[in-house]
Amino acid sequence: MIAANLSAIPAYEEWREAARNMLSIAAAPEDVVWRTQGASDLFACAPTPNLQPTKPLFVSRAFIDLARKAVLHTDPERFALLYRALWRLQRNRELCQDAADADIARLNAMAKAVRRDEHKMHAFVRFKEIETPDGPRFIAWFEPQFHIVDETADFFVRRFAGMRWSIITPEASLHWDGERLSRGPRGVRSDVPPDDARDADWRAYYESMFNPARLKVAAMTREMPKHYWKNLPEAQDISALIRAASSRADDMVAAEPTAPRKRAGAAHAKIAPEDLPERLTPVAEHANAPHSIEDLTRALKACRACPLWKDATQAVPGEGASDHPLLALVGEQPGDQEDLAGHPFIGPAGLVLDRTLEAAGIARREVFITNAVKHFKHEPRGKRRLHKRPDRSEVEMCRWWVKHELDLVQPRLVVALGVTALHSLSAHKGSLSAIRGEALETREGLAMRATIHPSALLRLPDEADKEAEFARFVQDLKDARAAALAG
Ligand code: SF4
């Protein structure tokens, strides 16, 4: 027997070096004991040799992809299993394509579980705001099932680049100061405050998305496994919602159809743009047209053309496919979470949009997503910041930015999400319902359609209305895609 010694939680690269050593001395899989630091040692072994490979090893791309994920599983047999697969790969280069092979099937199952845990961490980290001597910091507690903390770090840095944040887990912690990522020791649940003003938003979002008539508990717990519930503010309502589901569904069936709620009239300007004081002169007169989205994003950070920048954390630029995409989706303005993170449509309305895009068969990465107004307009309510619709002068002022974004991106079709985007992009000043789904044009002549803003679904109180409106929203996006493809 020969020992391959690893640290307690080895990364792929560490296992790879040890595996190379073993292969270089032709150590058969059954002769190798894989030991991690701190694990009990049942076998007497020769020490690990430290050798350089004498002949090139064959390692396929498929094996590397599989091993990178499987090594993050918690199954203690994973190192031996991976080594046996690598050993066999030297004689059978197509091994990874044989899904029926017992070793490959086990490794695939491990890799799949790890990817799923990563996906759940991306979706289920919930930050709480704390005050520190350096200003606000966002801190989250998360309990992954596997060793994925380092693997997910890049995702959080990209998504929350504009925030100072920490993610604490039972295995390690990640800290981002706006410029640098550092890794710290593990923490405990009590390192993170138990609740936060944003918890109410997550609970309201979940309740609004919970459809008692479509409740399938098994499917729901597959999407949101119970393992994660204890750290999700919205999960505290799940049991009560499930208990009430049957009577709520009966009520839905018994209820008379309800007329759609009348919307308030279109926002009217308190100040007409032409009456704006000089300090609010449209930014267009002061700025040169940007040559790229990157230029525009840089310039946007400095915009002070209207007062909205004062109470916002940052301007939120558009993002996504920026080279002649099929669609550009334009919403109203960033919300609370978008303001903190610096990315559009990542809060509750963003989740509704993701669901709708998925149902319409449109990948989010294939569209450009932005807002008509780039800073978050809000009013304080206790510890919460409540969305406030931008007025006409603010929309007009910010139009310069969205116009240039669309000029640079050149989508085949623009979709205005809600009346604010509609009024910003087009000459139409009436209601959204009058022209919803019709073929329109932006003021600059791009093909355009208009539909609801996804947050409208969050506000509908009636389940039947919500379901019908969701289906209509999906259809609007499908129609927009078809029109873009045909155009
Ligand atoms: S809302 Fe638009 S116009 Fe107003 S400061 Fe922000 S980026 Fe500039």
Domain ranges of the chain: 2-120, 125-191, 199-251, 275-486
Query: b vs e for 106-139, b when ≥16 Cβ sit within 10 Å of the residue's Cβ?
Result: bbbebbebbeebbebbeebbbbbbeeeeeeebbb
Cβ atoms of 127 and 165 within 8 Å: the answer is yes
Q: Is 374 in the pocket of ligand 1 (CB under 6 A)?
A: yes
Q: Which long-range contacts (CB under 8 A, 24 or more apart) does 39-45 make?
A: 39/8, 39/76, 43/1, 43/3, 44/1, 45/1, 45/2, 45/3
pLDDT, residue 269, reads 31
Terminal CA-to-CA distance of the chain, rounded, Å?
A: 68
261: pLDDT strictly greater than 50: no
pLDDT, residue 274, reads 39
What is the C-alpha separation between 40 and 68, in angstroms, rounded?
25
Per-residue pLDDT tens over the stretch 392-430: 889 998 998 999 999 999 999 999 999 999 999 998 888
pLDDT, residue 302, reads 84
Per-residue pLDDT tens over the stretch 352-398: 999 999 999 999 889 999 999 999 999 988 778 888 999 988 999 89
Q: How far is the CA of 436 from the centre of ligand 1 (A)?
A: 27
Q: Identify the DSSP state of 46.
A: B
Pocket residue to mutate for ligand 1, from 330, 393, 401, most atoms within 8 A of Cβ: 401
Pocket residue to mutate for ligand 1, from 397, 399, 403, most atoms within 8 A of Cβ: 397
Range list of β-strands (E), 37-107:
none
Q: Is 304 in the pocket of ligand 1 (CB under 6 A)?
A: yes
309: pLDDT strictly greater than 80: yes
Lowest mean pLDDT segment, chosen from 217-226, 313-322, 404-413: 217-226
Over range 297-308, report the average pLDDT.
Answer: 87
- Nearest CA to 269 out of 89, 397, 100 is that of 397
Per-residue pLDDT tens over the stretch 109-147: 999 999 999 989 988 888 888 888 888 888 999 999 999
CATH number for region 275-486? 3.40.470.10
Q: Are strands 2-6 and 32-36 parallel, antiparallel or unpaired?
A: parallel
Identity of the amino acid at 441: E
Q: Is 373 in the pocket of ligand 1 (CB under 6 A)?
A: yes
Q: How far is the CA of 273 from the centre of ligand 1 (A)?
A: 14
- Nearest CA to 81 out of 103, 112, 48 is that of 103
Q: Is 398 in the pocket of ligand 1 (CB under 6 A)?
A: yes
Atom of ligand 1 nearest to the CA of 306: 4
Q: Are strands 384-387 and 378-381 parallel, antiparallel or unpaired?
A: antiparallel
Pocket residue to mutate for ligand 1, from 298, 377, 394, 396, most atoms within 8 A of Cβ: 394
Over range 60-73, report the average pLDDT.
Answer: 96
Please name the helix (run of DSSP H) or strand (run of DSSP E) that holds residue 359, with its range, or none.
helix 348-359
278: pLDDT strictly greater than 70: no
Please name the helix (run of DSSP H) or strand (run of DSSP E) that holds residue 154, with its range, or none.
helix 149-159
Task: Tell me how long the chain is.
Answer: 487
Provide the sign of the torsion angle of the four alpha carbons 226, 227, 230, 232, taken in this order. Answer: negative
Over range 100-104, report the average pLDDT.
Answer: 97
- Tracing tokens 């981002």 back to the chain, one arrives at 176
Q: Which long-range contacts (CB under 8 A, 24 or more apart) does 251-254 make?
A: 252/212, 252/213, 252/463, 252/464, 253/213
Lowest mean pLDDT segment, chosen from 56-70, 191-205, 453-467: 191-205
Lowest mean pLDDT segment, chosen from 59-73, 85-99, 266-280, 327-341: 266-280
Place 256 in a pLDDT band, splitting at 50, 70 and 90. Answer: very low
Q: How far is CA 314 from CA 124, 131, 154, 280, in A?
A: 24, 18, 21, 19
Nearest CA to ligand 1 atom 3: 398
Which SS3 state, helix, strand or coil, does residue 352 take? helix
Per-residue pLDDT tens over the stretch 429-456: 889 999 998 999 999 899 999 999 999 9
Q: Is 229 in the pocket of ligand 1 (CB under 6 A)?
A: no
pTM for this model (two decimals): 0.57
Q: Is 312 in the pocket of ligand 1 (CB under 6 A)?
A: no
